[in-house]
Amino acid sequence: MQVFQVLSRTPTAELPDLARHVEALGFDGIALSDHLVRPRSTISRYPYSPDGQMEAGTATPYPDCWVTIAALAQLTRRVRFLSSVYVLPMRDPFSVAKAVSTAAVLSGERVLLGIGMGWMQEEFALTGQRFDARGRRSDEMLEVIAKLFSGEMVEHHGEFYDFAPLQMQPVPSRRPPVLVGGHSEAALRRAARNDGWIGVHYDLPEALERLARMRTLRRDIGRPDAPFSIALALTQSPDSDARRRLEEAGMTILLHPAPWSADPAGSTPGDRRDALERAAARVLG
Domain ranges within the chain, ordered by starting residue: 2-283
Strands 2-6 and 80-83: unpaired
> Looking at the predicted structure, is the pLDDT value of residue 9 above 90?
no
Specify the pairing of strand 178-181 against strand 196-202.
parallel
pLDDT tens digit string along 236-271? 999 999 999 999 999 999 999 999 877 767 789 999
Measured distance CA(4)–CA(232) in Å, rounded = 10
pLDDT tens for residues 174-228?
999 999 999 999 999 999 999 999 999 999 999 999 999 999 999 999 999 999 9
| pLDDT for position 120 | 93
pTM of the model: 0.95
pLDDT 10s digits, 76-130? 999 999 999 999 999 999 999 999 999 999 999 999 999 999 999 999 999 999 9
Q: Which of the listed CATH numbers 3.20.20.30, 2.30.30.30, 3.50.50.60, 3.30.870.10 matches domain 2-283? A: 3.20.20.30
Pairing of strands 154-157, 162-166: antiparallel
The Cα 42–Cα 35 span in angstroms is 14
Whole-number Å distance between alpha carbons of 148 and 113: 15
Categorise residue 182: left if φ over 0, alpha if ψ from -120 to 50, beta otherwise.
left
